Amino acid sequence: MKTKKSKVLIMLSIAVIFFISSNSSYCDAYSVKYKTTTNSQEKETINESYNSRKVAYITIDDGPSKYTDDILRILDKYKVKGTFFLIDRNMKIYPEKVKKIVESGNTAGLHSVSHDIHKLYKTSISAKEEFDLNNQTFYEITGRYSNLVRLPYGSKPYASKESYNNLVNAGYKIWDWNIDTQDWKSSSSEIVENAKKLDMYVIIDWHILSDGDPLMHKEEAKEFFREMSLKYKDYPNVIYEICNEPNGNVTWENNIKPYAEEVIKEIRENSKKSIIIVGTPTWDQEVDKPVKNKINDELVMYALHFYSGTHTEWLRERVKEALKDIPIFVSEWGVSDASGNGGVYKEETIKWINFMKENNLSYAVWSLSDKNESSALLVSGASANMVTENSLSEAGKLIKSVIKD
């Protein structure tokens, strides 16, 4: 839809973790001094300066990423330093950002190659081997080594004593924690787990809209779906929608399909059987465009978005024709016009519901929220904890009635 709306996304962001310390030797302040060397066997040394004051450590995991420059600017603005724990593949994607971290006086540590506990702790030496490779990549980019590491997900309960000791004996300093704040319980994890218990699907969505062209953030999308598909590879209820509503001067041949093929490749490395929804041109309404140039993947579906007050019989005819050749998933539709407002179009909504039933189309309604707009299914101010008949808006009552039928 053309008008920008606020939408809820399932997204992962960089974790910024604060450690408040007092007497623990793990938490005493220390700084890593890098040493430039041509000897691949020579490692940095760590000078420890102990401080009796309480100290807050700012650490940033899983980078570098598109956010690294912004984080560095914020740190510099407030004249503080952070420690960046870097993943191997991300260093290779953003080598200049790795250099910038070091050159700006911040500390760089290592955060593994795979970021996968099943690979990292496969044997008692596999973690050491990964961090050695991680360190070599860091050296090739910066001419320096780092012996500061953070184990993905923490050392407990995943790292065996032998694995942990092998890292320590190799000279690595492990930045760990002994208090679990459960910040690892991201909203996406809770949503997926709860949906699975209720026998519901979850669509993990890469939500482009104002940027129009999915190619603008292709590398970030590949990184995101690589991580999501690894995390949820064993969840049959997870569906990936890889580019919401491409629009503007964007074509299927030149923009959407090339983007989709690269992102799908990342997902298929981890998840062979997941359904993947690919956006279509003009806010997911030109569903006919992929018909003669389909993606070579039997589990790909093509996105359709519509709003009853704006998209009527002409779009149904287009969809009906496209369905002869491609599978379509209605990943967003509403009872209002395309702005999300303009009233409830009951007659056209019923026509669309009947059309989707007749053609066995799966769909997701926009939106289960109490936003003050016509398409919202709840009245403004409705409780999120107790939804009753009185909580339903005009749109909500209409959708409930047609779904029950």
Instruction: Count CB neighbours of 299 within 10 A.
Output: 16
Residue located via tokens 């009527």:
312
Whole-number Cα distances in Å, 111 to 155, 376, 394: 12, 42, 51
How many residues appear in the chain?
A: 405
Cβ contact 263:225 at 8 Å: yes
Torsion angle (degrees, nearest 10) of CA 51, 54, 55, 61: 120
**Is 298 tagged catalytic?**
no
Q: How far apart are the C-alpha atoms of 45 and 135, rounded to whole Å?
A: 14
Which candidate, 231, 235, 228, 232, places its Cα nearest to that of 200? 235
List the catalytic residue out of 245, 266, 348, 373.
245
Cβ contact 35:45 at 8 Å: yes
List the catalytic residue out of 44, 241, 332, 348.
332
SS3 content of the chain, % helix, strand, coil (to 5): 35, 15, 50
**Is 219 tagged catalytic?**
no
If you write DSSP's letter for every residue of 51-92 in order, what string do you get? -SS-EEEEEEEEE--TTHHHHHHHHHHTT---EEEE-HHHHH
Signed CA dihedral, 328, 293, 317, 249: sign only = positive
Strands 83-86 and 45-48: unpaired
Catalytic residues: 245, 332
